[in-house]
Amino acid sequence: MAFGSGLVKGLGVTFKEITKTVTKGAETVQYPHQKEDPAPRARGVIALHEGNCTSCMLCVRECPDWCIYIEGHKELAPPRRAGGKPRQVNKLDRFDIDYGLCMYCGICVEVCPFEALFWSPEYEYSEPRIADLLHDKTRLSQWMETVPDFETYEAGSEAKVLKVPR
Partner 1 sequence: MITSFLALEPAYWQSTIFKLLMAFVAVLLPAGGTVYLYLFKMVSFMQSRLGPMEAGPYGSLQLVAELGKNLQKEDLIPAKADRFVYAAAPYVVLVSTFLLVLVIPFGPDATFADLDTGVFFALAVTSVSVIGILMAGWASASKYSLLGGLRAAGQLIAYELPLVLAVVGVVIQAGTLNLQGIVSAQIDGQIFGWGGIGNPFILTQFIGFFIFMVAVQAELTQTPFDMPIAESELVAGYMTEYSGFRFLMFFIGEFATANIFAFLASVLFLGGWSIPPFIADALFADGNYSNIMNFVGPLIMGGKMLVLTFIIYWVRFTYPRFREDQLQKFAWKFLIPLALVNIAVTGLLKVVFE
Partner 2 sequence: MSATAAGPGSPIANDSAADHPMIDRRQLAYIAAQAADARVNVELEAEGMTLNIGPQHPATHGTLRIVARLDGEQVVDADPIMGYMHRGYEKLAEVRTYPQVTALVNRIDWLGSFANEVPFILAAEQLMGVEAPPRAQWIRTILFEMARVANITLFLGDMAVQLGAVSPVFYAFRDREHVLNQIEAATGGRFHPNFDRIGGIKDDLPAGWIAETRRSIGKIRDFTQEMEDLIIGNEIFQTRTRGIGVIPADIGLSYGMTGANIRASGVDWDLRRDTPPGQSSGLAYDQIDWKVWTHPDGDSYARYWVRLQEVREACHIIDQLLDGLPGGPIMAKVPRIIKVPAGEAYVATENPLGVMGYYVISEGGLEPFRVKIRSASFSNMSISPWLLKGTYVPDVVTILASLYFILGDIDR
**Environment class of 74 (CB within 10 Å of its CB; exposed 0-12, middle 13-18, buried 19+):** exposed
- Taking CB under 8 A as the criterion, the residue among 2, 5, 13, 88 binding partner 1 is 13
Q: What is the DSSP string of 55-89?
A: ---HHHHH-SS--EEEEEEEEEEPPSSTTS--EEE
**Spatial CB neighbours of 60, under 8 Å, sequence gap ≥ 6:** 66, 68, 69, 70
85 binds partner 2 (CB under 8 A): no
Q: How far apart are CA 150 and CA 142, in angstroms?
A: 18
Site for partner 2 in 118-157 (CB under 8 A): 119, 151-157
15 binds partner 2 (CB under 8 A): no
Site string for partner 1, 28-47 (x = CB under 8 A): x-x-----------------
57 binds partner 1 (CB under 8 A): no
Site string for partner 2, 27-66 (x = CB under 8 A): x----------xxxxxx------------------x-x--
Q: State which residue, 34 or 88, has the beta carbon closest to partner 2.
A: 34
List of residues contacting partner 1 (CB under 8 A): 7, 10-11, 13-15, 17-18, 20-22, 26-28, 30
